[in-house]
Chains A and B, each alone.
Chain A
C-alpha cells in the first residue's frame, strides 16, 4: 500500500495517502481517526495509546476549499488557518471570525473544521457559524457517500451520525444559503485559549431597500448541540435592517435553548448573554451605512 502501516503489538497505525485505502481500512477494523490531533491527544488524557489509529492527515485530496456551480466545498482536512486565509463571500465571515477564536494559532494550524464537527462538543466554535450556512456533511464509506444536513449530523454531546466505516470527507455549503452578511460573537472569561460561555453566529440577507429578506441565527454552548433560532429568524423577516430593530429581542426568543449551570457560568446568565450577543451578531450583519 502507498502509505504507512505498522503494528507493534500494542496497536497499529496507518497513514494512507489515498481515500480508498483509508475507507478499506475503516471497513475492516475499529479505528480511531487522527487528523489534526487537537482532539485525539487530549482525549487520551493520562492513558497510554489505545487501539488502532488511522491517520488521515496525508489524504491530500481532502484539504482545501473550492466552489462549483451550486456549492462551496470545504474539504474535511481544511484547517482553521486555511479558513482564515480563504477567499470566500461575506456569509463566511462568521466562520472566519470563529476560526480566529479556535484555541490559538497552534490549534488553528492543525485542527480541522470537520474534526470540530466530529468531536461534537457543545461548545465547538465551528458549529454555529457553519449552521447558519445550512451545510451538508458528506460521509463516505466503501459503499459510497451520503449527505447529511449539519443539524442531523451532530446528535448530542460527543455523538454524531457517523458510522464506524465512514469518514467525513467534505462540508458542502449551498450557494443559495451563502448569501448576505454574517457576524459572530463569542463570550469567554479570557482572550485566547478559551472555551465559550456562549457564542452566536448570524447571517442576514438584506434587500436593496434595507429590509431583512432572510435570517439565520445559531447559538452555541447554550444547549447540548448548537441550535438555530427559527422563531426569531421568522420574526426578523421583513423588518428594517438597523441596530434598533434588534432591541425587541429578549429571552422569550431563546426558548429553543437549554443552557446549563457549569463552572463557566450559570444557565440564567447564559440566557441573558445569548440575547445580548444575538443582537450584536445581527448588528455585525448590517452593512455600513444602514446601522442607524
Chain B
C-alpha cells in the first residue's frame, strides 16, 4: 500500500502497484466500472476521469500518481449539479446510443462546464475532441452539452404524456438510457465476476503458416498459475463454425494451419494476475510460414494455392443479376462513362473491445458477452461444445457498438471452451490491437463499372464487375456477394443491366458484415459515375437523378415490382431546397475566392433491402400477463445502440392499446426471450417490429375476450391489476381463476413474422426483399486545392423510413451513419500489421463531422409495422459518394480510391490539371 487518494469524495487506499494504470485500479480495485477501457493508449478517451479537476485518460495515469490527489469518475460526475444537467440534456437529445463512450463524454463535458458557463460550439468541440464515438456522429452530443451549459437546472424531464395509441411517431427518450448516462450500464468487460479465470489467446503472427506445438506441459510448469492450455484437440464438439452454416469453415482454434494474421491456435487460462502478465511470444510453437495471398488478384491466379480445398480458384461465392439486353442498352447510348474504384479493409472500430465470460453449470454452459446475435451464438456454441442447443444459454450484456462485427462469434467460443474445462467462470477481454487483428472487416472492393444514358439523360444500361476480398474465412462473404449485384444500380430504373460479383479468399483478415454488406462500396462506383454522366450531359445533378429515379410499378433489376412505397423521388425532392440554395452559395463563393479553397457539392443516394436476401428471416416475440395483471414483453431484439428496445415498446404499446410505461420488459436471454433473429440488415424495426405488433394484438384479443369486451374497449394497467374500460365503465379483470403456465403467466401470446421473399433464379430475377428503404444526401465541401485537404461544410440527409417510429432515434441513426460514411470517404484504411490501433486507423472525431440536417421522409410501406421501413444501414451508404462527388465539383478531381486522403486528393487535382492542359 502506498497511500490514499480521494476518489469521488471518499478516501480510498491505493493498494495496487503504483505503476498500475489508474483505469485498471478504478475498475478492478475500486469497482468503479463506469470508467471504460477502449484502447489503453489515450486514443479513444473512453476512460476519461478528472484528476485534480483536469480531464485525463485514466489509462495514461499511474495509480501511484493520484496518491494524495483527487479523482472524479463518471459515478462522481453523475452526482454533481453539472452532471445532473448533462444527464438530463443527453437524455433529451438522444446523445447516448450504445453508451460505451458516454462516460468519457460526460466527464469531458463536465470538466468544460465546471470551467466555463457559456462555452461556444468550438469550445465544446475542443473539450470533446479526445473522446471517440462511433455511434452518434457527435452532433447530438454537442447540442446536449451546449444546452446543459445554458440550463440552470432544478427541473426534471417532463413526463411523457402520450395518449394511448399515440406512441408511434413520438420522439421519446430511449428507455434504456439512464444506466448509460450514469455509468451504470453493464458491458462485456463489466459483467465479469470476481474470481473468474482469465483466458488469453495465442495468435499467429503470420498471414499463412503451418505450425506444430512444442512442449505445452513444460510451458505450463514454467508459468505457475496457468491452469489450462487448450488447443484444437480440446474442442469437444465440432472445431468449425460460421455464421452461415453451409459455409462453416473457421476453426475455433486452428489445427496445424493458419490462414490470417491473428488467427488463434491455443488458449492459456488461469489466475488473471498471472495470465495477464504472460509473455505470449514465448509460447512453445514452431511456425512455418507459407506463401500468403495478400490480394484477390494473386489469389485468383491459376497457380495460387487454395485457402480452402473445396473452393477452387479461391472463389467463395459469385453473385449475378442480369436484366434486359445490355449490349443493346449500350448501343442506344449517347453517353457512356466508366471507372474503376477501390476501397480498403474498413475496421468497425466499436469503442468496446470484445469481452465476456462463461460459466459451466452441470451440463449447461452460460455465456454473458457483447453480441448482436445471441440465438446464433447459442447454436454455434452448442455445436462447438458438442451439446444440445438447449444446454447453451446466452445472456447478452449491453453491446458497446457492433455495426455487424459482433454478429460473428468473438470471445464466446473461447470463454465457453475454457469454462467447459474449469470449475469456475472464465473471462476474456480483448485489447484494442487484438480486437483489430482478429475481428471481421468491411470487404475491400475493386469495382469496374460502366453506365450509359441517352441524349436526354435517361439511363439505358449499366455493367458492373466487383471483386470483394473476403479474407481468410467465409463469414458474411456470401451475403456481400449476393447483395451487391441486386443493389449496384442504385435506386434508379435501369432497363438493361448486368452485375457480377466475386468474393475471393485471401490471407487477410476475415471480411464479414459491416453496415451495408458491400453496398456502400458499390454505391461509390454508381454514384460517382452518375455524377460524371450528369456533368457530361451538362445537367443538374439533382434533376438527372430525379429523371431516372425508380418509381412505383417500375421493375427493379431483379424484376420485382412495388405498387407502392418506392421513396427515392420523395427523398430527392426533400433535398431540393437545400440543393438549390447550396448550388448558388457555392457559385458565389467560388466567384469571390482568390485563394486555393474551392467550394463544391455532391449527391449520393441509396436503396437497401431490409432483411436477409431471399432467405427465411423470422422474428418471434412473446407477451405474457401475470396473475397480478402486469403485462410482460419478452423482447429478444438486440439493441446495439440503435434503439430497438424503445422502438419495440412503442409499437407494442400502441398495438396492445396501453401506455409505453405499462409494459414490463424482459430479456434479452436465450432461455427466456424467443429468437428475434440477429440485429443486422436493417431488419429489427421491420421484422421484429411486425412480430411484436402481432404478439401485442394477439394479447389484446385474449384480454378483451376474457373481459367479454368489444374491440373498442380500453385496457387499463394499474397498480391494483388489470381493468377494462368500455362505454364509460371500468371493470377490473379477475385473473385469479386462470391457470398459471410454467412461465408464470395466465395469458400468453407469441407471434412470428417472416417477411415474404422469393429465391433469385439463375439470372438473379426474383423478389429478394419484402421492402427497400431509400435515401438521398448532399454534401457541401471546401477543398484546399493546394494541399488536397477536404473540409466538410454541411450534410443534408433525406431518408425515407416509411414511418418514423421514433424520430429522435431516426436522427441518431442518420447522423451516426453519416459519420461512418465520412470515415469511409476521407480517412479509414485498415492495413493488417500496420494500423492496429486508433491513432494509425483514423475514425472521425467530433471535429470531423459537420452540421447534419436530417429530413425524415415517410412513404409508407404496406407491409412494415405502421408503414415503417429499415434505416440502420441506408444512412451510411450515400455519404461517401456524396463527398467524393463534392470533391470533384469543387476541384475537378475524381478520386477513385478511398480514403480520399489529402495526398490522394492532391494527386487527383494535379492529374485533372494535367489532363486539362493537354486538351
**Chain A positions near chain B (C-beta within 8 angstroms):** 4, 6, 8, 10-11, 13, 15, 34, 36-38, 40-42, 45-49, 53, 55, 57-58, 81, 100, 103-107, 109-110, 187, 189-195, 197, 263-266, 269, 272-273, 276-277
Contact = CB atoms under 8 A, between A and B. Distances in A.
Contacts of A38: 42, 60
Given A191-B129, A192-B129, A106 B48 contact: yes
Contacts of B788: 269
Nearest to B822: A190
Interface string B125-136: 111011110000
B840 A46 contact: no
A195 B901 CA distance: 14
A49 B839 contact: no
B653 to A, nearest CB: 41
A116 to B, nearest CB: 14
Contacts of A57: 65
B56 A15 contact: no
Contact of B42 (A45, A100, A106): A106
Contacts of A104: 42, 45, 129-131
B902 A187 contact: yes
B746 interface: no
A115 to B, nearest CB: 11
Interface in B815-861: 826-827, 829, 831, 834-835, 839-840, 842, 844-848
- Give the interface centre of A8, A46, A57 by most chain B CB atoms within 10 Å: A46
B60 A193 contact: no
A187 B846 CA distance: 17
Contacts of A34: 19, 62, 65
Contacts of B710: none
Interface residues of B, number: 66
Interface string B47-75: 01001001111011110110100000000
Nearest to B910: A272
A49 B18 CA distance: 11
7 contacts: A10-B17, A104-B45, A191-B125, A197-B902, A263-B840, A266-B903, A269-B788
Given A4-B64, A13-B18, A193-B845, A107 B130 contact: yes
Nearest to B21: A41
A269 B43 CA distance: 26
Contact of B129 (A10, A193, A266): A193
A79 B267 CA distance: 42
B483 interface: no
A135 to B, nearest CB: 26
- Give the interface centre of B277, B840, B903 by most chain A CB atoms within 10 Å: B903
Given A190-B842, A265-B901, 19 more contacts: A4-B67, A6-B2, A15-B65, A37-B61, A41-B21, A41-B41, A45-B433, A58-B65, A104-B130, A106-B55, A109-B55, A110-B56, A110-B57, A110-B61, A190-B845, A191-B125, A192-B846, A192-B848, A273-B906
Contact of A53 (B19, B55, B125): B19
A55 B64 contact: yes
Interface string B778-800: 00000000111100000000000
A6 B1 CA distance: 9
Interface of B: 2-3, 17-21, 40-43, 45, 48, 51, 54-57, 59-62, 64-65, 67, 108, 111, 125-127, 129-132, 276-279, 431, 433-434, 596, 786-789, 826-827, 829, 831, 834-835, 839-840, 842, 844-848, 899, 901-903, 906-907
A81 B55 CA distance: 11
Helix, strand, loop or mixed for chain B's interface?
loop
Contact of A187 (B431, B433, B787): B787
A187 B905 CA distance: 14
B56 A106 contact: yes
A4 B3 contact: yes
Contact of A194 (B45, B842, B906): B842
A187 B835 contact: no
Contact of A109 (B56, B840, B848, B902): B56
B18 A15 contact: yes
Given A41-B60, A107-B42, A195 B130 contact: no
Nearest to B907: A269
Contacts of B840: 195, 263
Nearest to A7: B17
Contacts of B125: 191
Contact of A110 (B18, B60, B786): B60
A49 B64 CA distance: 14
B870 to A, nearest CB: 30
A107 B57 contact: yes
Contacts of A109: 51, 54-56
Nearest to A51: B19
Contacts of B19: 11, 13, 34, 49, 53, 55
Contacts of B827: 189-190
Contacts of B57: 106-107, 110
A105 B125 CA distance: 11
Nearest to B127: A105
A13 B17 contact: yes
A107 B129 CA distance: 11
Given A41-B21, A110-B61, A263 B835 contact: yes
B903 A105 contact: no
- Give the interface centre of A104, A189, A269 by most chain B CB atoms within 10 Å: A104
A18 to B, nearest CB: 15
A44 to B, nearest CB: 8
A189 B842 contact: yes
Given A48-B276, A57-B65, A263-B835, A191 B42 contact: no
A265 B62 contact: no
- Give the interface centre of B41, B56, B906 by most chain A CB atoms within 10 Å: B56
Given A105-B129, A191-B129, A269 B2 contact: no
A276 B786 contact: yes
A104 B60 CA distance: 13
Contacts of B108: 105-106
A1 B842 CA distance: 45
- The 10 A-B residue pairs with the shortest CB-CB distance, nearest first, are A104-B130, A191-B847, A192-B129, A48-B277, A269-B903, A42-B41, A192-B845, A265-B903, A37-B60, A106-B130
